[in-house]
Structure 1
Amino acid sequence: MLQIERSGHGPDMTLFQPFLVLHISTGMAAVLVGFGPLLTAKGSRAHRLWGRAFVVLMTTLLAGAWVMTALRFNTYFLALSATASLTLFSGVRVLGRKRPDVRPQDRARPLDWAATFGALGIGVWVLALIAMGRSDGPPVVSAALAYGALSVAAWDLWRFSRPRDWPFSPDLWRYEHLVKVLSAHAAVLSAFSGNFLTFLPQPWSQLWPTVLFQSMAVIWTATLILRRRARITRTGPA
């Protein structure tokens, strides 16, 4: 969900309002459904079903977010939409690009490059608007989201151009999927918190989900890597 002004009149509001209702309803559902993949066994049928439901809800709310951003431009809208869109898109696409080192069909496609360069450009644009004093909403939140988009985009561009190089491993796709989908969930939870948990001080009402989920991603990824190394030590490489 996006933090929005609810006042206003005119033709744009006539078009804006239905997308706002769709966006808020799917956003609230995505906040809840997003916990499903986290609480089910990875690779299980339940995990896949919850994951697909989350992707459908996120895709719907992001489509609404982009329409609302076009109707009523806002740097916060733009930064949040770009970051959430790239992390969700890339986190899902990596499931079909598990072994780019041995399967050419697993290399990045034009769609991957286009989405990544698009998010990179938006991140730079948002930071430029903030530098010029033309930021809507708390600049620190928009800047954090822009840096998030730039970080994911820079990582993906490296992975696309040098798929066999560091830090490639056969399990890298698992870590990418985990980190990126957690980031997408953090984005929608951040917007939910900013809109409804108003008793929390700004900007932390919007930043705490990012801090929490990124910390979870680091700890979770490190745990998976250590478990893999311990398994290889016991049994040898698969």
Structure 2
Amino acid sequence: MDFISLLHKSNLILHISAGCSALLIGIGILLIKKGGRVHRRSGRIFLFLLFFVILTGLLGVFVFKRNGFLLVITTLSGYMGFSGFRVIRNRSNLPKTIDITIALLALAAVAFFLWYFHSLGMMWSPVIIYSTIGYLILAVCYDLGRYWISEKTYQKLWLHEHIAKLVSAFSGLLSAFTGTVLPQYQPYSQFLPSVLGSLIAINFMVALWRKQSPV
């Protein structure tokens, strides 16, 4: 085994280990009581693992020339994870340089993905590719547009936004996992986890809305 192959296999092992661990932690977060110390600590671990998933994914695509589309999903998950964390950290829609910078970098990544897949050819279902990229664009546009929402209105929205983004980060990882492990069932193995994630997020947000609504 040459040195490059060894590095690639090591990177792949780290990528898979971090991804599977993040999924297990994510499932735990969905099941435990929200807002407590365990929830917060588990969330930090999830984001830490998500960082390693993205880092090893970047190495896999640009250094070892592996599956580029998985990078789209991990970028979506990474952006949602970062933005969801920033929501809970800021709890306001006052403009922050780091948030705007990351949002613009995400748009630049979308432009690169479109060019990359056009030059390389569609290896995965176009429905999955365009829906994933479209959702990322929608999220970035919302993040750049939320600064025009009044502070009073946003105080009713930020926790819903946190839920939607962190569940999206989790379902994005799950979609990458099932799409890779169950390629014979594509595109269903790719988009069904996203549908499941949407239903979970809606359920949590409806429950929160009912809790916040006056009796």
* TM-score when normalising by structure 1: 0.80
Deviation at 1:43, TM superposition (A): 1.1
User: Do structure 1's residue 29 and structure 2's residue 15 form an aligned pair?
Assistant: no
CA deviation vs aligned residue, 1:123-146 (integer Å, no higher than 9, x gap): 233345555672333332222221
Question: How many angstroms apart in 1 are the aligned matches of 2:137 and 2:162?
Answer: 17
The runs of 5 or more residues in structure 2 that have no matched partner are none
Q: Which amino acid aligns with 1:209?
A: P
Please tell me whether the aligned partners of residues 27 and 188 of structure 1 are also in contact (alpha carbons under 8 angstroms). Answer: yes
User: Do structure 1's residue 78 and structure 2's residue 64 form an aligned pair?
Assistant: no
Question: How many angstroms apart in 2 are the aligned matches of 1:217 and 1:150?
Answer: 19
Question: How many angstroms apart in 2 are the aligned matches of 1:147 and 1:38?
Answer: 25
User: Do structure 1's residue 169 and structure 2's residue 161 form an aligned pair?
Assistant: no
Q: Please, what is the CA RMSD of the aligned residues?
A: 2.3
Q: Whose helix proportion is higher, 1 or 2?
A: 2
The runs of 5 or more residues in structure 1 that have no matched partner are 1-8, 101-106
Please tell me whether the aligned partners of residues 19 and 64 of structure 1 are also in contact (alpha carbons under 8 angstroms). Answer: yes
Report the counterpart of residue 201 of structure 2 in structure 1. Answer: 217
Q: After alignment, is 13-22 or 53-62 more displaced?
A: 13-22
Identity among equivalent pairs (%): 28
CA deviation vs aligned residue, 1:192-226 (integer Å, no higher than 9, x gap): 11222356x21111111101101221232133223
Please tell me whether the aligned partners of residues 29 and 57 of structure 1 are also in contact (alpha carbons under 8 angstroms). Answer: yes
Please tell me whether the aligned partners of residues 189 and 209 of structure 1 are also in contact (alpha carbons under 8 angstroms). Answer: yes
Q: After alignment, is 181-190 or 10-19 more displaced?
A: 10-19
Deviation at 1:165, TM superposition (A): 6.7
Report the counterpart of residue 48 of structure 2 in structure 1. Answer: 56
Deviation at 1:15, TM superposition (A): 3.2
User: Do structure 1's residue 227 and structure 2's residue 211 form an aligned pair?
Assistant: yes
Deviation at 1:80, TM superposition (A): 1.5
Q: Which amino acid aligns with 2:127?
A: V
Aligned length in residues: 214
User: Do structure 1's residue 98 and structure 2's residue 91 form an aligned pair?
Assistant: yes
Task: Name which one, 1 or 2, has greater alpha-carbon Rg.
Answer: 1
Aligned to 1:137, which of 89, 114, 124?
Answer: 124
Does the residue aligned with 1:34 lie in a helix, a strand or coil?
helix
